[in-house]
Chains A and B, each alone.
Chain A
Amino acid sequence: MTADTVLESRLREAMARGQTSDADFAAEVRRRIAAREASSVTADRAGGEVAASVWQRHPTLARAVSLLPPLWLPAGKALATKPAPLALTVLAMPVLIVVMTVLTAFWVWPRALRRRGPARPGVAPSARQEALLAAMSAWWREHLWAVGLGLVLCASVWWFSRAEGLAVLLLGSTAFLVVVLGRLGELQLMDRQQAAGLCGAVLLQVGLGLQGWLLHLDHPSGELALAVLMVGWLTCWWVGGMWQRLGREVGRGWRGLAPMERNLLLACFAPLLVGGLAALGWAGYRVASNSILAGGLAPADEVRRGVRDRSLELAVHSVHAGRRLGLQPDITDLHGRLAAPKAANADRDLTLLGLGLMPLGEGAMEADAIWPARRAPGSIGWLEEVLVRARALRVLGAEDLLARDRHAILAQLGELWDEEVGLLRGWRDSGFPLVRHQLTAVLLFDLFGVPKRVDLVAFRNALAYRRHVRRDLEAKLACAILDAHYPAARPGWAQVLLGYRVLWAAVLLVVITVVMTWRAPRPEELDAA
């Protein structure tokens, strides 16, 4: 034996100490995966997707960023749905209201107008502008407590329900605006342009400041409300002649303005205008794309889309979902993709998911299929594996094993449900996804029935969020199966009206702002008086 051989054998012996067998090692890894999934699912109770790794590793950062409305975050960042602790969310709400709505509209905006001076540059501010500013400041000082109380009220309502919180905020803004404009009107201080400036600013700030939450409701009224607010802003400016004023200012050129004022105007106005138009366009696109009100494409089209999806997993799910919907999707391409050696060898779970789509005998399907069937029910890990196992048993005709598993699987689904939604269900009606693998869960319901503990109404709400807001194909398919096999009771007209409460509040705010702008006297009428 050479020295190298001795050396190698000594090295191997030294390192072989304490090594566990491959089976024990794999079992421990799977146990840790299941434990992490359970804990991450619990943490995602209000949020759906697992946060991106960088945010997961920095919980403080994740918490701070999660206070932002989701649409402010880059597309594709799952962080967008990572929830902040409830208390922090509630704290963030009044702060954003103050910053985005009240301060900007009633404090920064009038001051910015005043700094811009009267119609002719180089002339001191008119007495009316000074008086207007003084009246606003006085009103602000006198009613600070009322504004604070209103904010506390909004936050309290927000605690229980986002939809109600938004509606109260919109109604509160309406009342606030009516009172302020009424007071200024009494003092003969408000002309049409100034009213348009204030009203438009309120609508713009409410719309932009809350767009994240407006679009995050599990209901189309959020999108519609945002569109209405943006249209209202443009209408107010049109009625108030702000566009002409803007044209005059721009037409006269920048020469009359000090560099500081130019920069201020550019910094404040340009992003607001661009942001407002972008928000309007986005809301309009979402309304017009038909996926909000009608739920998107017909189930057959969704299934076809799913079968063609790049993800084999989703494609297989789509076929099974399509079959449950009574459709016969064309799986020729999918069959080829599944039968490819790469798919069969590289991913056994995936191949197993395809059970029932391929005839037995192709590749190592049977051998692979037995793998999950051999596992004891107690060792079933995550939801996907439960489905794989159930499909394998069904294809193999092992109905006895399937029946033996049924109780354990239903219990597991029930437990998952309790972990996911038990705490939140009674607190918030507007929704975030509650179960991560909704389609898998629905397919399991389909195989084994719905556990008693599972509330299908809440489950459907969670799915609706994903279907409407995130346009999640899996959620759409899951909804289609639920609608087909577990039809919900038709809602009454009062329920439908109430569902659009945020929209009605936005419409009320817009109508009042437009009417008040229109009723305000023109500048020349006020001068004549």
Chain B
Amino acid sequence: MNLDALMKTWRGPLTGFLAASGVGLGEAQDLVHDVFAEAYLGRERFRGAWTDGAAVGAFLRGIARNLLRSRRRAARRAPGSLTEEPSAGSPAAPHDDVLVAIATLEPAHREVIWMFYFQETSTREVAHLLGISERAVEGRLYKARAALRPRLAPGREEVTG
């Protein structure tokens, strides 16, 4: 397996995937290191070709979910160790209104927004990671953008620069 290529392709959508699951962005960025480390150490368990995006996506998704579950279990034992995403009532940083708006989206829409926009990512990787079709990803993105538009720019149809 080519670890560098794997990280380059999947880092963005994986971080988005984790961030969309409810852990904070910082936590997701930390967790994604562990996902790649686990993937590398468990590479012998991978069945398929490393060039097969769907197979790799499913493999990474499984690892990410397991790690997330473990992290949450640990957080339950030590409350406060897991940072949650910003709530709708407490925007603090300049971009928090964006994050808060995203947090109010439906889970499926929130997921694709995070995964698609976090880094330079194509809908194909997002689709592979979620195990759905690219058309479904595009549809969700369309609906998510439509839901975000009035929340982030209320009353404006077009902005001139």
A50 proximal to B (CB < 8 A): yes
Complex Cα gap A1–B156 (Å):
12
Flag if B159 contacts A6 (CB, 8 Å). Answer: yes
Number of A-B contacts (CB under 8 A): 102
Q: Let me know if B159 and A1 touch, CB within 8 A.
A: yes
A332 part of interface (Cβ distance < 8 Å): no
Contact A3 B158 (CB under 8 A): yes
Over the window 20-45 of chain B, the binary record of Cβ atoms lying under 8 Å from chain A Cβ atoms (1 yes, 0 no) is: 00000110010001101110111001
Q: Tell whether, in the assembled complex, residue B34 and residue A32 are in contact, meaning their CB atoms are under 8 Å apart.
A: yes
* Interface: B92 (CB within 8 A): no
Select the stretch in B1-9, B74-82, B124-132 that faces chain A: B1-9
Q: A29-B36, A40-B41 are in contact. Are A19 and B50 (CB under 8 A)?
A: no
Q: Mark A1-42, 1 if CB is under 8 A from B, else 0.
A: 111101110111111011110100110111011001100100
Instruction: Answer yes or no: A374 CB below 8 A from chain B CBs.
Output: no
B35 closest partner in A (C-beta): A29
Chain A interface extent, by class = 35 or more
Supply 8 A–B pairs (Cβ within 8 Å), ascending by A: A10-B95, A11-B98, A14-B98, A15-B16, A17-B93, A40-B41, A53-B45, A347-B1
Find A25's partner among B5, B33, B51 (CB 8 Å cutoff). Answer: B33
Are A7's CB and B152's CB within 8 A? Answer: yes
- Decide if A346 is an interface residue (CB 8 Å cutoff): yes
Contact A18 B42 (CB under 8 A): no
Within B90-146, the residues touching A (CB, 8 Å) are 93, 95, 98-99, 102, 113-114, 117-119, 145
A348 engages B26 (CB within 8 Å): no
Complex alpha-carbon distance, A345 and B159, angstroms: 45
A contacts with B: majority SS: helix
Which of A28, A29, A346: most chain B CB closer than 10 A?
A: A29
Contacts of A52 in B (CB 8 A): 45
Do A57 and B70 have beta carbons less than 8 Å apart?
Answer: yes
Kindly state whether residue B11 has any CB partner on chain A within 8 Å.
yes
Q: Which residue of B lies closest to A345 (CB)?
A: B2
CB atoms of A18 and B29 under 8 A apart: yes
Q: Is the CB of B148 within 8 A of A7?
A: yes
Residues of B within 8 A of A40 (CB): 41
Whether B3 contacts A29 by the Cβ 8 Å rule is yes
